[in-house]
Structure formats: C-alpha cells, structure tokens
Amino acid sequence: MIFCTVGTQLPYNRLLKLCDESASIMPDYNFFMQIGESDYIPKNSAWVRNINEIDYHDKLKKTQLIIGHAGMGTILSALDYNIPIILVPRKHALNEHRNDHQLATAHKFRHYSSIFVYDESSDFTELIFKALSFVGEYEVDKKSKEFSQKLVLIVNELLGN
Amino acid sequence: MMILAVASGGGHFVQLKKILFYFESEVLTVYSTMENPSLNLNCKYQVIPDCNIYNFYGLFRCFMSLFCKIYILRPKVVISTGAAPGFLALLVGKILGAKTIWIDSIANSEKLSLSGRMARFVADKWYTQWPELSSENGPYYIGSVL
C-alpha cells in the first residue's frame, strides 16, 4: 500500500492532487489517503479524513511507501517502521503553513537514504517508483535511546537523587 | 506521582514517547491532546485541551485545565517536547514549584519554536535537538530523537 497523509493539523490539497494523479497512472498500486480538512477529494484512491492511532499503526504495518508533508510525526513514523518516505514540504508562499519550516526540515533529512524530497523539477510518479525500489535499513533507535537515558539522569539530578 | 510529561498531539507526542523510553512508568503521568493515543507505556494518561499562540481563549482554557490537573497531581518534574500546551504545562509546573525541562521539537532545525524561545523563562533545563542551535547560555544540546 502507498499511504498518503496530510498530518493532523492543516489541509494540504497540493499533496493530495499529486498523489491522486499518480494513483490514476499506477492502477496496479493500492493508494490510501488521509486527507484531514482538505477540500480536494481523491478520485482514484480510498481515503479517510482522519485516522485514530491504532488504525494508523495498522496501516503502517501494511505500507510500502509513505507520501506526506514534512511533518516530524510523519517522518518519525516512517523511520520507526523503516518505510521509505517522500516528503512534499508545505510552503508558506502557497499558504500551506504558517512559515517555511517544512522546507528546512526536509532539507535536514535529505541525507537519509530512505527519505526522498519532492521538488517541482522532478516527475512525481517517477519519484514514487524510485522510492518504492528503496531497499536498506539503518539504525535510528540508538540515538533516541541514548537521549532518553541522559534525560533520566538529568531528572534524577533535578530530584536530588 | 513524581514526573509529568506533556506534549500536544502528532509529532510532539511521537517525540515525547521516544524520550520517555527509559523512564519508570510507575512514577510517570502523561498529558496530551488526543482521546485515545497509543502510549506503549504503562503509565497514567489524561487529555488536555489543545491550543496555539494565535488564540487567547484557547490558551486560557488550556492553562486553567493544566492548572487544575497539575495542582492535584503535584509532580516534582515537568518535561515537555512542545508545543503551546507543553509550554503552559511548564509555566504551571514552575508556579507550583516543580522542576521543569523543555526539549524543543526536532522539527525546529533553523530556529527555536516560539514556545521554545518562551520556555527559556520557565525551564530549569532548556534543550534543543540541533547542535547548531545550541549556545553557551542555552539552549543546550545533549542529544536528539533521531
């Protein structure tokens, strides 16, 4: 399954249009879209407005590729499940977010081998095929566990233990 | 209950869960804005109203809700990954005598979030997840979730 998600906060019509167009020329692939408050209704794919956490994780278990905005929740999910992801950063100029931090986020994560960033110069469907053919794994858990360990020590220090 | 961890839904909450990995669940309470989140932690959970900096009424409602809850809970430490509800939780925690820890979201890679910048005034420990955003007077960098 190819899972397209706009995240929990804001509508994102541009992302859904891109995905829906690709869905129409990729009939052998099963697309699923979480559209939030967007006005655009996908014609070539199943969709829901919002999804609860449990269903979300169920979907991710069956997902080969995520296409999403450059939100941290979406990126972390993709890395957690080791699923390749295409980021389509929201742009302030197109009124897609309050500022351009998603461009910065996308830029920071470019070097991850499983993260692909869409810019207008490339063909979206081609990028989907490229991302689908990604194979590989890497460790992301190690850093976050070290961080957690350090914070436990800091909490203990604050508590005077 | 000794430790309170607070984050709004979505990415902030995902990061909160990651940093809580080694925390003892018996002494932990989590507040977030979602009704039924998947916690993967065997700790207490309560829902708080969501809010953002652009809506004064929302901020006020969230503050009052947090104040009532934290007044009863009396945590020794309040920790948050953001955003506005997390900042308010630190503020309330500070007022009620808790130690406070702010971890700015990893989404803010160019500049600290607004709540992150304000957190300086209420956080005993003030962290960014990007080394290039850290400075001698804070925020400090000690690690990140990625």
The alpha helices in B96-138, defined as continuous H runs, are 114-119
The pLDDT score that the predictor gives to residue A126 is: 96
pLDDT at A54 over 90: no
Domain with A20 in it: 2-136
DSSP per residue, chain A: -EEEE--SSS--HHHHHHHHHHHHH-TTS-EEEE-TT-S---SSSEEES---HHHHHHHHHT-SEEEE-S-HHHHHHHHHTT--EEE----TTTTSSSSSHHHHHHHHHTTSTTEEE--TTS-HHHHHHHHHT-------HHHHHHHHHHHHHHHHHHTT-
Residue A155 counted as domain residue: no
Chain A residues with CB-CB distance to B38 below 8 A: 53-54, 57
* Whole-angstrom distance, CA of residue B86 vs CA of residue B29: 14
Total number of domains constituting chain A: 1
Phi, psi of B56 (to 5 degrees): -65, -40
CATH topology for the B3-133 domain:
Rossmann fold (3.40.50)
Radius of gyration (C-alpha) of chain A in whole angstroms: 17
pLDDT at B136 over 70: yes
Amino acid at A36: G
Q: Does A6 or B42 have the greater pLDDT score?
A: A6
Residue A131 counted as domain residue: yes
pLDDT band at residue B37 using 50, 70 and 90 as cut-offs? confident
Residue A15 counted as domain residue: yes
Chain A residues with CB-CB distance to B22 below 8 A: 145, 148-149, 151-152
The pLDDT score that the predictor gives to residue A137 is: 60
Residue A111 counted as domain residue: yes
Give the gap in angstroms from C-alpha B20 to the nearest C-alpha of chain A: 6
Question: Is there a contact between B10 and A9 if contact means CB atoms under 8 Å apart?
Answer: yes
The pLDDT score that the predictor gives to residue B89 is: 98
Residue A159 counted as domain residue: no
* Average pLDDT of span A53-60: 91
The pLDDT score that the predictor gives to residue A62 is: 94
Phi-psi region of A136 (alpha: psi -120 to 50; beta: other; left: phi over 0): left
Helix axes A13-25, A124-132, angle to 10 degrees: 70
* Average pLDDT of span A72-78: 89
| Nearest neighbour of A73 by CB, restricted to B14, B142, B144 | B14
Among A residues 106-145, those touching chain B with beta carbons less than 8 Å apart: 107-108, 140, 143-145
CATH of the domain at A79: 3.40.50.2000
pLDDT tens figures, A77-115? 898 888 999 999 999 999 999 888 899 889 888 888 899
Question: Is there a contact between A53 and B37 if contact means CB atoms under 8 Å apart?
Answer: yes
pLDDT band at residue B30 using 50, 70 and 90 as cut-offs? very high
Residue A147 counted as domain residue: no
Measured between CA atoms, the residue of chain B closest to residue A108 is B109
Question: Is there a contact between B143 and A101 if contact means CB atoms under 8 Å apart?
Answer: no
Q: Does B53 or B46 have the greater pLDDT score?
A: B46
pLDDT tens figures, B98-135? 999 999 999 888 889 999 999 999 999 999 999 999 99
Chain B residues with CB-CB distance to A58 below 8 A: none
pLDDT tens figures, B52-108? 988 999 999 999 999 999 999 999 999 999 999 999 999 999 999 999 999 999 988
Provide the ipTM: 0.95
| Nearest neighbour of B146 by CB, restricted to A101, A140, A154 | A140
Kindly list the domain boundaries of chain B, sorted by start residue: 3-133
Average pLDDT of chain A is: 91
